[in-house]
Amino acid sequence: MTGLFRDRDSAERAYQALEGRGYQRDDLNVLMTDETRKKYFADGNAPKTELGTKALEGAGVGAGVGAVTGGVIAAVVAAATIAIPGVGLVVAGPIAAALAGAGAGSVAGGAIGALVGAGIPEERAQHYQNGLSEGGIVLGVNPRTDDDAEYFEQEWKNSQGEHVYGRRI
């Protein structure tokens, strides 16, 4: 399941839907440009939010770190991130390991190549690349059940998600 979010706050709200169903930050895939990462998640620029502080405290991270990084997505981005040279794409979560293992050949076509290499259909990847280039954040998760997929699809759309595809893959 994937969706495009135009800002950090909507992406954080979408994550909360996952958390409410027992998913953890290790289940979340995050894609964004390096410019977006710097805009929303660089230490000096990260907005301080109650949501981010509580989420990081729940994950066993101290409140001081939550105040600095500004949210769960920031923690995911910090924990397991690869940067794809020449593409300007930052990938975090379980998908990062898959892309790293696939090598440069899977990302030869730029962001679309990286997205298709991650198993996203080419037409959808084009929508996401456009959103990524405009400063958006793509989130992905593999829902455990069809009920979870339906729930996440509705909640992500309610969180201003665009091109949300809730089918289990």
The torsion angles phi and psi of 109, rounded to 5 degrees, stand at -90, 20
Q: SS3 for 164? A: strand
The pLDDT of residue 57 is: 39
Q: What parts of the chain have a pLDDT lower than 70?
A: 43-87, 96-111, 114, 166-169
- Those residues whose C-beta lies under 8 Å from the C-beta of residue 44, and which sit 6 or more positions away, are none
Query: What number of helices (H) and strands (E) belong to the chain?
Result: 9, 6
> 51-65 pLDDT, tens per residue?
334 333 333 433 333
137, containing H or E segment? strand 137-140
The pLDDT of residue 167 is: 61
The pLDDT of residue 58 is: 36
Every domain of the chain and the residues it spans: 2-41+76-165
Cα separation, 17 vs 24, in Å, equals 11
Cα separation, 161 vs 142, in Å, equals 17
Q: SS3 for 111? A: helix
The pLDDT of residue 68 is: 36
The pLDDT of residue 50 is: 38
Residue 63 tokens, joined: 């409140």
Cα separation, 43 vs 21, in Å, equals 29
pTM for the structure as a whole? 0.74
Cα separation, 152 vs 72, in Å, equals 17
